[in-house]
Structure 1
């Protein structure tokens, strides 16, 4: 660094000290509110299953059912991916090896309202089944429950289910690090604060570590996007979570219906959905809170034509979400898994060569047709790591394309290497 004239050097030094003092509170607030991306792998989807249908072998069952769908309609799947047999082979391998990345045991809308004794019994049984799956290694890498929300009519039932499930789950083993709970129907920041309070009380009562209970906020009400004062309440919810919030999940149909959208037009790609998800994206940026798109209720069942049409819709919507920075979504049926992974793997494999080349040019400071900024280099590295995380890309081909070791790639993506699964 070039030295300054003595008088100017003293002026700059003094001014820097003054600005450091002046901006100390703002610097601390920025670091506190926007700590950066969360370390570790993000699942590409969350599979929802009603609690009364969940059992320890469900992941393997879903994998087998999804492979049967591919067997029955492989010609249609091949046509949808432009005849890419290698991609279909990769999807088959994923379905046989890890068909479900994140599983949510549902005790809310997908389960319905039932007598307390029946829900209590299903909660206990589902917790026991999840513990069995965890103990035998047959559980999904990520898991959790969705309980009824903290609105007045469902609050008591929601709290009871949450406490009963967690207490039962930890009777015979630890709470998994990748376990989260989902808070639905959020209409007020105070409901998020209430869940923070409840989580702390449960941790204390069950002997869990502080902060062990983490949660996702399901954004399915207009009130969670726009408050009565015109502010984006979802941003306040993130910062009211005391660091416990790991994700914002968009609820396609509740949100669309609440906005008055006719059933025939409710979709992940409706303008009201795009608006809500753009607000969620801005609210979560830099906080370490991840985003998940919602579901499509068009299921690939019936004859070959019906399956192919539903697969085409699902494939297109998943690719659309990925292109918009929503790297996770919901799946509701085993036959949606082939197109979930076909779309996801295709997205990363199609982008591999260009992303690796651009990142290599950036790191080596080579002339190329694109002048990338540091923030774009971070996005390129993150894209490649996400591809490796889900199995679309291998670490070897990413390393060969970029010329970068894993730790260097993770550093460019602002990720902690040891946090990746």
Structure 2
């Protein structure tokens, strides 16, 4: 045996634990689509027709206040050459898939009610979700946000989690791949570990497969970003979730208020928000956990001037998030859907020619003017794939511009580690 062989055996032995931890803690992309937004609907306002109704309302607002493709693009600051294309795609999206991810809200959007009222609301909501799934009207991703595991609301939150899952499973026959839970106001790693225990207990109680329940962690308290010991608790939370955590969602207003920011300055673009989201982004990198920006409560409602002002702000914030690598956010009203999809579609369509040319050169050889490394090629493929999945880009365009089909693109974009 040469000295090099002996050295490599020694190094393999020394690094075996580190190799295992890297592969298990940072497995890479989960290989699934990320929705562009999450819509929150109070539980007592959710019905089987909620998703198509939101689409109809959004199209009505667009028709009333949009002013046509050119005017709408100019209002939102979109490139004039994309006006017709984006407008057409937005209208089509609102008619076919107006909501990509919907959360039936039993937390802040629903408020504190009697146990009898919340039990009645969850029974009705579970039945309505089952009907919408059967009718094909449900959002591809859907679930509930229940009350937090803080002491004052813990019992009610667990009761809603347990009962809703049971009633939906019974009514729908099973929980689909699109079902996800939201754990709000997380302040400790212990709460995440408790959520893992709760999920396992609920699965057993209702005959669900182990691991069927997955959840998002809402980052809306300072404690979730920085613990009392000075460590970044949100990173520890991801790894304490035992593989069940699917996302980190920034809570704009709870977090800002907890940091003492005056109401008039609470925003997705406040420096405090950017700090929290940057920490989330680094904590989630390589884990397969998605990150989501928050919401703006400045709604495009009222007269035309108010609608236009709301659309301009929302579109700018959506674009800002996308440029910073936050491909998902929250929407709170049907009138936000036109600006959400218009800003999103313009982002992907603007970037498509360059991304496609660089990918084509990387995959097939040639000169794109860039010397792209494998990690950048993965990011380019992810960009194009996200555009396809949300409806901004067609499969035929990818095949023509990149000379690769969606499967090959996904293979590059969603490689797992190891």
TM-score above 0.5: yes
For 2:4 and 2:398, the matched residues in 1 are separated by 44
Which runs of at least 4 in structure 1 moved beyond 3 Å after TM superposition?
none
- 8 Å CA contact 2:357, 2:368 repeated in 1: no
The answer to whether the aligner puts 1:411 opposite 2:411 as a matched pair is yes
Q: 1:395 Cα shift? A: 1.1
> Which of 61, 66, 78 in structure 1 is aligned with 2:58?
66
Q: Which residue of 2 aligns with 1:6?
A: none
- 8 Å CA contact 1:47, 1:331 repeated in 2: yes
For 2:387 and 2:406, the matched residues in 1 are separated by 13
- 8 Å CA contact 1:200, 1:211 repeated in 2: yes
Q: How does 1:265-344 map to 2 (within 5 A)?
A: 265-344=265-344
TM-score, normalisation: structure 1? 0.95
Post-superposition CA distance 1:243-282 (Å, at most 9, x none)? 0000000000000000010000000000000000000000
> Which of 73, 81, 84 in structure 2 is aligned with 1:78?
73
The answer to whether the aligner puts 1:402 opposite 2:397 as a matched pair is no
Q: Which residue of 2 aligns with 1:130?
A: 129
- 8 Å CA contact 1:108, 1:147 repeated in 2: yes
User: Which segments of 5 or more consecutive residues in structure 2 lack a partner in the other structure?
Assistant: none
For 2:114 and 2:276, the matched residues in 1 are separated by 34
Q: Which residue of 2 aligns with 1:181?
A: 181
For 2:366 and 2:135, the matched residues in 1 are separated by 50
- 8 Å CA contact 2:149, 2:157 repeated in 1: yes
TM-score, normalisation: structure 2? 0.96
Q: 1:166 Cα shift? A: 0.5
Q: 1:82 Cα shift? A: 4.4
Distance 1:394 1:129, change over 3 A: same
Q: Which residue of 2 aligns with 1:251?
A: 251
Give aligned pairs, total. Answer: 408
Q: Which residue of 2 aligns with 1:52?
A: 44
- 8 Å CA contact 2:319, 2:347 repeated in 1: yes
Post-superposition CA distance 1:121-141 (Å, at most 9, x none)? 001110110011111111110
Q: 1:398 Cα shift? A: 1.2
Q: Give the secondary-structure state (helix, strand or coil) at the position aligned to 2:164.
A: helix
- 8 Å CA contact 2:385, 2:406 repeated in 1: no
Q: Which residue of 2 aligns with 1:161?
A: 160
Q: Which residue of 2 aligns with 1:99?
A: 98
- 8 Å CA contact 2:348, 2:387 repeated in 1: yes
Q: How does 1:341-352 map to 2 (within 5 A)?
A: 341-352=341-352
The answer to whether the aligner puts 1:201 opposite 2:201 as a matched pair is yes
Post-superposition CA distance 1:262-307 (Å, at most 9, x none)? 0000000000000000000000000010011110000000111111
User: Which segments of 5 or more consecutive residues in structure 1 lack a partner in the other structure?
Assistant: 1-8, 417-421
Q: Which residue of 1 aligns with 2:111?
A: 112
The answer to whether the aligner puts 1:152 opposite 2:144 as a matched pair is no
Q: 1:210 Cα shift? A: 0.3
